[in-house]
Amino acid sequence: MRKAKGLTQAQIAERIGITQYLVSDYETGRLHLSDDMLIRFSKVLGTSADTILGLDEKDIAMPSLRLIKRIMKIEQLPIAKQKALLQTIDGFLRGEGML
């Protein structure tokens, strides 16, 4: 959400009154947001606490138009090539610890 708003961790930290390291710890899940910090992040990001907590599905970011266009092109490929491409993508995601 921070990146989507074009803000750095340092900018968020300054506006909230904490260090950039704490912002990083909150983002990576090493620290859990207290009620007070949840309110601060909500105000700085201009969104609801529900959105930050992942409870407000209507505010979940949609894929970019660029990504949607690529997905549409991938769907036009033969099934075998789609599978090969998805295996490659899965390999990258696994390498990043995202799968």
User: Does the structural domain 9-59 have CATH classification 3.20.20.450?
Assistant: no
pLDDT at 64 over 80: no
- Using one digit for the tens of pLDDT, what is the confidence trace for 75-92? 999 999 999 999 999 999
Q: How far apart are CA 58 and CA 93, in angstroms?
A: 26
* Among 19, 59, 15, 61, residue whose Cα is nearest residue 40: 15
Give the global pTM. 0.55
Q: Are 25 and 50 in contact (CB under 8 A)?
A: no
Q: How far apart are CA 41 and CA 37, in angstroms?
A: 6
Q: Are 99 and 93 in contact (CB under 8 A)?
A: yes
The ranges of the chain annotated as CATH 1.10.260.40 are 9-59
The predicted structure's pLDDT at residue 10 = 95
Q: How far apart are CA 52 and CA 1, in angstroms?
A: 8
